[in-house]
Copies of this chain bind each other. A is one copy, B any other.
Amino acid sequence: VPRSPQPTSRDVAKLAGVSVATVSFVMNGRDERRVSAETRERVLDAARALAYAPNQSARSLRRQRTERVALVVGSIGVPAYDQLTRDLHTAADDAGHGVLTLVVDSARRADKAVELLHQRIADGALVAASVPHLPTGILAELARSGLPLVVMRNDAAPEGFDVVRAPEVAACAEALDHLFRDGRRRVAFLGHAHEVGPVPRQDAVPEDDFAALSERRRAYVEALQRHGVPVTDQLVVPGADDRVAGYQAASALLALPRPPDAIFAASDRAAISVMNAVRDAGLTVPGDVAVVGVGNLAEGLITRPALSTVGPATQDYTQVARLLFERVLTPEPLPGRTIDDPWTFIRRAST
């Protein structure tokens, strides 16, 4: 049951006294040396009169492309995705495409997203960093089935899709080493919910599982080992997912009998909350507690003290978007390419 008798190209053709073919040519602007100016006007007038708009589904079916790309993100309201989203929308506009956002924050949504991509709901997909529940193997399969794909992920080889690498471990290690060299010994890790599960014992776990651990968490664990500091379970807590949780987690940490002398927060948002919590506890940053965040948000520049952070040197994802659209717009298969989003430790006043 059609919801409404939307006008079709046939209706326009009838009203303009031409064939549907001519309507199609006019509507697609491919009417140079094809349709006379006069016919053109008649068609355009008819289209306007009927408020005609070509049906996307029919067009997509016929042309075998949707003129849409999918952006797959791991959650909503994360500033780390903002610039990526903006840059992708801009590129999409330029290419005349729409953007379909898929939020994958559970296994169920991951399955659904893969199904939709498989169903060719979009002409290509950009999988952002930190999207859970989507094994690289599944993505590779999608790529193999012909879906143009760009994946922001460090543990993936560019086979049939492009990879954007943002090596976090080295930069995090640098930040953590700095804390330890500075004499900090009780360094807490304030992670995202998915980052603070039980640590797999290294000797009991296949290499792959350890590698699948969050890089931030891994950098933390490795830094403790490097400096001969044992892991204290009490100092590994969730709370990086939002500002309020970060504040509460930090407050709890500071209320411990032996509070931390440094807090490594897995997000800048949380790190800023941590600094507020430290101040509200009557302590100082970095005197009593050093604070480091992750993400390199511009906001870290306006805090007092300015926030030390680990993150991408530049927040520019136009290249990433370009990668996707090259793939989408190029008919023949492209080789898998890799681009690097270099991360650095940006030391400011909070450490």
Contacts and interface: CB of A to CB of B under 8 A. Distances in A.
B66 A76 contact: no
B64 A61 contact: no
Given A101-B101, A273-B302, A2 B64 contact: yes
A54 interface: yes
A109 interface: yes
B101 A116 contact: no
Given A60-B57, A146-B4, A304 B280 contact: yes
A292 to B, nearest CB: 19
A83 to B, nearest CB: 8
Given A76-B85, A82-B77, A103-B89, A55 B119 contact: yes
Given A77-B79, A109-B93, A302-B276, A119 B2 contact: no
A3 interface: yes
Interface residues of A, number: 59
A244 interface: yes
A243 B116 contact: no
A256 interface: no
A98 B117 CA distance: 11
A42 interface: no
A247 B302 contact: yes
A51 B142 CA distance: 10
B120 A302 contact: no
A20 to B, nearest CB: 16
Interface in A45-66: 51, 53-58, 60-61, 64-66
A83 B280 CA distance: 28
Nearest to A52: B118
Contacts of A276: 302-304
Given A55-B119, A100-B101, A6 B86 contact: no
A145 interface: yes
A57 B51 contact: no
A299 interface: yes
Given A2-B64, A276-B302, 13 more contacts: A3-B65, A4-B146, A6-B145, A53-B120, A56-B121, A57-B58, A60-B60, A89-B103, A98-B116, A243-B302, A244-B301, A244-B302, A247-B302
Interface of A: 1-4, 6, 51, 53-58, 60-61, 64-66, 68, 76-77, 79, 82, 85-86, 89, 93, 98-103, 108-109, 112, 115-116, 118-121, 141, 145-146, 243-244, 247-248, 273, 276, 279-280, 298-299, 301-304, 331
Q: Which 4 A-B pairs have the closest CB atoms?
A: A4-B146, A77-B82, A57-B60, A53-B118
9 contacts: A3-B65, A6-B120, A51-B118, A56-B120, A57-B120, A60-B60, A61-B61, A93-B112, A244-B302
